[in-house]
Amino acid sequence: MSKSISKLCRRGTAALALTAAIGAFAVQAEAGTVENMERERAILIETLRAADMEANERAGKVEISRHRLVDLERMVLRDDSLTGRNTPTVRRAFANYDLTFMVHSASEQQVAVIDVWLGQLGLTTQTLMSASKGRR
């Protein structure tokens, strides 16, 4: 009798452990942090590049995007499920810290977000000033 009770207890404990493990994996299965960040980043770049926008309007939109990107960038950097996930999106995201985590990089360097982005594209004041007109 006691044997069967202990067996039942063991099975119950095993089932509990299994449920806990499944629960943990279920949480991990929620992905998309990189995609969310990329979408927000694309919107920010679009806003920065938009020619038909008032300066104030642009500043307001950039500030909203920037604020949101702070959290999204942190979510990506803290997402352990991305470690070693060899997908093109993740590979590209971690290929260049300054380009992907633009808001953090800009704050770190104490420059504007657009400066970081243009700098990563090779468009700095120095390169523009030293550019010369000529035929290709």
Please give the Cα distance from 58 to 129 (Å, whole number). 26
Which of 24, 71, 124, 127 forms a contact with other proteins (CB under 8 A)? 71
Question: Any idea how long the chain is?
Answer: 136
Does the footprint of other proteins cover residue 35 (CB under 8 A)? no
Cβ atoms of residues 39 and 104 within 8 Å: no
Please give the Cα distance from 59 to 53 (Å, whole number). 10
Which of 31, 43, 82, 118 forms a contact with other proteins (CB under 8 A)? 82
Which of 4, 83, 130, 132 forms a contact with other proteins (CB under 8 A)? 83
Distance in Å, CB of 84 to other proteins, minimum:
5
E-strand stretches of 26-97: none
For residue 4, the surrounding DSSP H or E stretch is: helix 2-29
Does the footprint of other proteins cover residue 43 (CB under 8 A)? no
| Interface with other proteins (CB under 8 A) | 63-64, 66-68, 70-71, 74-75, 77, 82-86, 90-91, 94-95, 97, 101, 104, 107-108, 110
